[in-house]
Amino acid sequence: MRVAFVLGTTSGGTGRHVRMLTEGLVRRGHQVLVLGPRSVEEQFSYAGAGAGFVEVAVSDRPHPRNDLRAVLAISRLTRDADVVHAHGLRAGALAALGRRRGLLAVTLHNALTASGFVGFVYGALERIVARRVDRVLVVSPDLGERMTRLGARDVRAAVVPAPPLRPAKRTPQEVRDELRAGERPILLTIARLAQQKGLETLLDVAAGPWEDMAARPLFVVAGEGPRRAELERRIQGEGLPVTLAGNRDDIPDLLGAATAVFTATRWEGQPLSIREALMAGKPVIATSVGGIPEIVGDAGILVPYGDVRGLRTAVRTLLTEPGAAETLAAAASRRGREMPDGDAAVESVLRVYDREDPTG
């Protein structure tokens, strides 16, 4: 089978997911071609996984001239493909407009959050994907419901595994010493410092009040992004118990030291951070949005987005209610063991690629 992947600019989970699918398909004897910006090849090395790679400028913002060039390139480069599988809304719409033959699948990894003119354009792209694509894969039930309403004929849940979690290299106490946590519990957030991640809500939660100030949790945020300066000003101005730890390559070490993983995000599909938390046996306190409830199950406490009091109460419950942390940690370990692996994801897309598959 000849499979062509199309993707846009990405530095995270989407790029890793396509790399994992590429490795699995090549290992099974299929021919894979990846089309996307040069930056994704430099970061994820699809050629190193056995695929062909051709640079196609799929940008993350609407640009009529560049988009036309991308459509023409996709049409030309995929004319012999049995399957074209695009990842992301813009890549999916461009692939749909450039389609010649073969089955067309699109995986939607994110929800539409933009407003104004950009939101209008992205709404139009959603309708193109819904009406022109053979099979739409989604990372959360709400995305599936939206695409069905827009007219998609075959909508399925995407299987997105987490990569194996490497062993920690440092002891929890060494990490606690680095973070100057003392005896306080650590609530770890792994997130880009961006608007979608609800970090202003995290700061509201951290502000308390906490009855026992000596034992109030330390919120540690691992990640970088455009909102760092704004967050730092508030943390310092209000003396909040929050540490912005920057981009880290020692996430397993941080997880080992954490009491729980905390996220106040506005929306997520199948976040790697929560899957890593479960594989590390850590409870989760999170907003009940997107695909998070499906992943967490009984391994955490879920609260509506923006409910500061509810999130703070969840933290208190986890830290002070007898047996709560231990019960949730045991559930997290169980769910972590149940997470799908790379082979499950590859077998899932092979079923998607089968035109005779009746499960859609």
Residues 6+ apart with CB under 8 A from 190: 221, 222, 223, 251, 254, 261, 272, 273, 276
Contact 157/137 with Cβ under 8 angstroms?
Answer: yes
Write out pLDDT tens, residues 62-121: 778 888 999 999 999 999 999 999 999 999 999 999 987 889 999 998 876 656 666 677
Domain membership of residue 77 (yes or no) is yes
Task: Supply 148's token pair.
Answer: 């069905």
Same domain, yes or no: 195 and 230:
yes
141 and 180 assigned to the same domain: no
pLDDT at 65 (0 to 100): 86
Asked if residues 252 and 220 have their Cβ atoms less than 8 Å apart, the reply is no
Q: Is residue 183 included in any domain, yes or no? A: yes
- 110 and 229 inside one domain: no
Residues present in the chain in total:
360
Is 34:7 a contact under the CB 8 Å cutoff? yes
Distance CA(262)–CA(273), nearest Å, equals 10
Structure tokens at 3: 């499979």
d(CA 148, CA 154): 8
Count of CB atoms within 10 A of residue 345's CB? 18
Q: What is the pTM of this model?
A: 0.84
155 shares a domain with 184: no
Task: Give the Cα separation of 217 and 312 in Å (integer).
Answer: 11
Segment 297-300 long-range contacts (CB within 8 Å, at least 24 positions apart): 297/331, 297/335, 298/328, 298/331, 298/335, 299/328, 299/331, 299/332, 299/334, 299/335, 300/260, 300/328, 300/331, 300/332
How many distinct structural domains can be found in the chain? 2
pLDDT at 118: 64
Tell me: do 318 and 296 sit in the same domain.
yes
Position 253 in a domain: yes
Q: What is the rounded CA–CA span in Å between residue 235 and residue 233?
A: 6
Q: Which range marks the domain in which residue 268 is found? A: 172-338
The pLDDT, as a whole number, for residue 358 is 53
Residue 96: give its domain's CATH number. 3.40.50.2000
Asked whether residue 101 is domain-assigned, the answer is yes
Same domain for 151 and 186?
A: no
Residues 323 and 220 in one domain: yes
Q: Going residue by residue through the chain, which has 360 residues, state the pLDDT in tens, using 9 for 90 and above.
A: 999 999 998 867 789 899 999 999 999 999 999 999 999 999 999 999 999 999 999 877 777 888 899 999 999 999 999 999 999 999 999 999 998 788 999 999 887 665 666 667 778 889 999 999 999 999 999 999 999 999 999 999 999 887 788 999 999 999 999 999 999 999 999 998 998 899 999 999 999 898 776 568 999 999 999 999 999 999 999 999 999 999 998 999 999 999 999 999 999 988 889 999 999 999 999 999 999 999 999 999 999 999 999 999 999 999 999 999 999 999 999 999 998 989 999 999 999 999 766 555
Has residue 36 been placed in a domain?
yes
DSSP code string of 170-203: S-HHHHHHHHT-TT--EEEEE--SSGGG-HHHHH
My answer on whether 226 and 155 are in the same domain is no
Count CB atoms within 10 A of the CB of residue 214: 8
Contact 107, 18 (CB under 8 A): no
Report if residue 358 sits inside a domain.
no
Stretch (H or E) spanning 301: strand 300-303
Same-domain check for residues 153 and 297: no
**Is 14 within 8 Å of 94 (Cβ atoms)?**
no
At residue 86, φ and ψ (nearest 5 deg) are: -95, 150
Say if 166 falls within a structural domain. Answer: no
Q: Are residues 232 and 214 in the same domain?
A: yes
| Token pair belonging to 74 | 């996709």
Say if 167 falls within a structural domain.
no
Report how far residue 217's alpha carbon sits from residue 60's, in angstroms, rounded to the nearest whole number.
37
Same domain, 252 and 211: yes
Residues 177 and 309 in one domain: yes
